[in-house]
Amino acid sequence: MILTKSSKELYTEYTHRMQKIADIKYSAAVLQWDQETYLPAKGADFRGRQLATLSEIGHEWFVDPTLGLLLQTLDERADLQEDEKRNITLSLEDYEKQKKFSPAFVRLLSEASSRCFHAWLQARAANSFALYKDELQKLVDLKKQEAELAGYEKHPYNALLDQYEKGATVGLLDQVFNEVRVPLKEILDRIAGRPQVDDAFLRGDYPKQTQWDFGMDLIRRMGFDFEAGRQDLSEHPFTTSFNPHDVRITTRIDAHDFSHMTWSCIHETGHALYEQGLPPHYYGLPLGEFASLSIHESQSRLWENNIGRSERWWKTIYPRLQTLFPGQLGSASLEQFYKGINKVHPSLIRTEADEVSYHFHVMIRYELEKQLIQGTLSVDSIPAWWNENYKTWLGVTVPDDKRGCLQDVHWSHGSFGYFPTYSLGSFYAAQFFATAEKQVPGLDEAIGQGQTAPLLHWLRESIHRHGRRYTSEELCQQATGKPLDINYFLDYLLDKYGNIYNF
C-alpha cells in the first residue's frame, strides 16, 4: 500500500505521525515541568506513573515498524524537497537508534528517573547523600544497560554522550579538556597572584520580590516573549519547551546573594530564546528541534557571560539596579560592580562559578561519570571522590553533600553525558559572539545602550532557524566560517581578565 502512494502523500502521513508523537512527548514535558515547580509532595508516585506511561506510548509509536517502513520508503524517493529529505534522513537515524530499546525498558527508565528525582529533593532537604544513593544506583545500572543496548565503540560512556552531542566520544573530549586544562590553570594562577577584586556588595539583604521583579525586567530586555512562555521558581533552574510558542524557564532566589537569581535568569533565558527561535512550522520534525546540547549551551553561556557579565551591557541597566538596592549597591561604581560580578575565585557551586574555574567543575563531573558508567567507581564512593577532586583541582574543601555532590539535578533525570556540553557550549559561544561582533554593524554600541535585538536577530538567522539541519561542527562552520577553535575562548578570557586583574 505504501509503495503505491506518492511521495507527497507519504510525507504528509510521516508529518502527521511525527506530530502525534510530539504531542505525547510534550504532554510528558508539561508534567515534568509541573513536577519540578508545583507538584504537591504526595503526588510524586502517581506522577511517576503518568510520565512512564506517556514515555512508553511515545516510544511505542516511534518504533512502530509501519513508521520504519514509511521512513525507509521516503528515504529512497528522489523527488523530495531539500528540507523534506533532511527531515527523513534524521528521523530514520533516530528510528534506528530508538528501536534498540523496548517500550518496557523506556518505561523502566522513566519510572526510575521520577523516583530518583524525588529522592534527590529529599536528600537536598536533609543534606544527606545517603537518602539518594539507592535510587541513583538503580538509575546508574539502567544507564549502563542503556549503553549496552545502544552499542558503542571503546567506551560505554560514548553511547550516552552521543544522545546529547552527536559524534562526541571520550577520546574527543579527553583531547579537548587536555587542551584547555593547562591554559585555564595558568590563567587561574596568574589571577591568584594579583590583588583580588571585591564582590562583598553582592551579598547582603536583597529582598526576594524586588529581585524577582528585576529578573523579569532583564528577561524582557533580552527579548523573551512572555506571550510564548513564563518563568517560575524551582529547586534547580532549568528550561523546558513544549513548542516555540510555549517555553518555560525557572530560577531560584537567595535573599542574601544577588548573583543566584540574576545569572540563572540570564542563562535560562539564553536557552529559552533558542527554543522560541526554532521554526514552528516544523513542530515535531527534526528541523524544528535544537541542533545539539552544546549548541543549546552556547546560547545560554553567550547570554550569561559574553553579554550578562560585560561592562557595556550594564551601562544603562546598573543605574536602575542601584535605585532598587541603594543600601547594597548605591556606593558601588559601575566599574566595581563589573569587576565584582567577574571575580575569579574557585568555589563549591558550578552554577555560581566564574568563567575560568567553571570548566574544572565540568571536568570533575565528566571524569566521575566516565568511571560510574565504566564501573570503576561505585555510587557509594561518589561523595568521597567528589570531595577529593574538588580539593585537588579547585583547592576548596567541600563542607557537606548539598554543596557537594547533591548540587546538580542532572543525574536524577538520568542525564549522564550532559555535563561536557557546558564547556563545549562556552567554547562555541566565544566563537559565535566574536563572529557576531564582526558581522553586525554597531553591535557594540547597541549593547552599550542596553539593546540586544541586533544580536538576537543574528542568532536567529545564524543558529536558531536551522534546527537540526547541521551537526554542531557543521553549524559552527556555517555561522563562523571555521570549525570550533578554542583559541576564541582562551583569547576572550585573557583579554577580559587581563584587564580586570591587570596582568
In the prediction, which pLDDT does 170 show? 95
Within 13 Å and on the Cβ side, how many CA atoms surround 173?
30
Return all residues near 454 (Cβ < 8 A) that are at least 6 apart.
440, 442, 443, 446
Residue 362 has pLDDT above 90, yes or no: yes
* Cα–Cα distance measured from residue 342 to residue 335, given in angstroms and rounded to the nearest whole number: 11
Residue 9 has pLDDT above 90, yes or no: yes
Written as one string, the DSSP assignment of 405-422 is TTS-SGGGGT-TT-THHH
Residue 45 has pLDDT above 90, yes or no: no
> Which grid cell sits at 38?
508545583
CA-CA distances (angstroms) from residue 278 to 15, 45, 274, 425?
A: 17, 34, 7, 18
Which residue type, as a one-letter code, is found at position 297? E
> Which grid cell sits at 356?
575560568
> Which residue matches cell numbers 563531573?
365
Residue 334 has pLDDT above 90, yes or no: yes
In the prediction, which pLDDT does 278 show? 98
Residue 377 has pLDDT above 80, yes or no: yes
428: how many CB neighbours lie within 10 A of its CB? 31
- Beta-bridged to residue 488, according to DSSP, are none
pLDDT band at 123; cut points 50, 70, 90: very high
- Beta-bridged to residue 232, according to DSSP, are 250
In the prediction, which pLDDT does 3 show? 67
In the prediction, which pLDDT does 102 show? 92
* SS3 state of residue 326: helix
* Cα–Cα distance measured from residue 396 to residue 407, given in angstroms and rounded to the nearest whole number: 15
More confident residue, 411 or 235: 411
Mean pLDDT of 396-400: 96
The alpha carbon torsion through 131, 132, 133, 139 (nearest 10 deg) reads 150
CA-CA distances (angstroms) from residue 323 to 261, 309, 333?
A: 18, 20, 13
Rg, Å, the chain Cα set: 23
pTM, two decimal places: 0.91
Residue 1 has pLDDT above 80, yes or no: no
pLDDT for 139-169, tens place per residue?
A: 999 999 999 999 999 999 999 999 999 889 9
pLDDT for 180-218, tens place per residue?
A: 999 999 999 999 999 999 999 999 999 999 999 999 999
Which residue type, as a one-letter code, is found at position 36? E
Written as one string, the DSSP assignment of 117-153 is HHHHHHHHHHT-THHHHHHHHHHHHHHHHHHHHH--S
Residue 203 DSSP label: B
* SS3 state of residue 278: coil
> Which grid cell sits at 94?
533516530
Q: What percent of the chain has pLDDT over 70?
A: 100
- Beta-bridged to residue 203, according to DSSP, are 257
User: Are β-strands 246-251 and 239-243 bridged in parallel, bridged antiparallel, or unpaired?
Assistant: antiparallel
pLDDT for 447-458, tens place per residue?
A: 999 999 999 999
Class at the top of the CATH hierarchy for domain 170-501: mainly alpha
Cα-based angle 357, 431, 223 (whole degrees, multiple of 5): 90
Of 352, 383, 367, 351, which Cα lies nearest the Cα of 127? 383
Instruction: Identify whether the C-beta of residue 284 lies closer than 8 Å to the C-beta of residue 19.
Output: yes
pLDDT band at 44; cut points 50, 70, 90: confident
CA-CA distances (angstroms) from residue 503 to 126, 188, 189, 304?
A: 44, 11, 11, 24
Residues recorded for the chain: 503
pLDDT band at 95; cut points 50, 70, 90: very high
* Cα–Cα distance measured from residue 503 to residue 157, given in angstroms and rounded to the nearest whole number: 40
**Catalytic residue numbers?**
268
Residues carrying CATH 1.10.1370.30, the chain: 170-501
> Which grid cell sits at 308?
550578562
* SS3 state of residue 115: helix
What is the residue-averaged pLDDT of the chain?
Answer: 95
Residue 35 has pLDDT above 90, yes or no: no
* Cα–Cα distance measured from residue 91 to residue 106, given in angstroms and rounded to the nearest whole number: 19
Q: Exposed/middle/buried for 42, CB within 10 Å: 0-12, 13-18, 19+?
A: exposed
In the prediction, which pLDDT does 48 show? 85
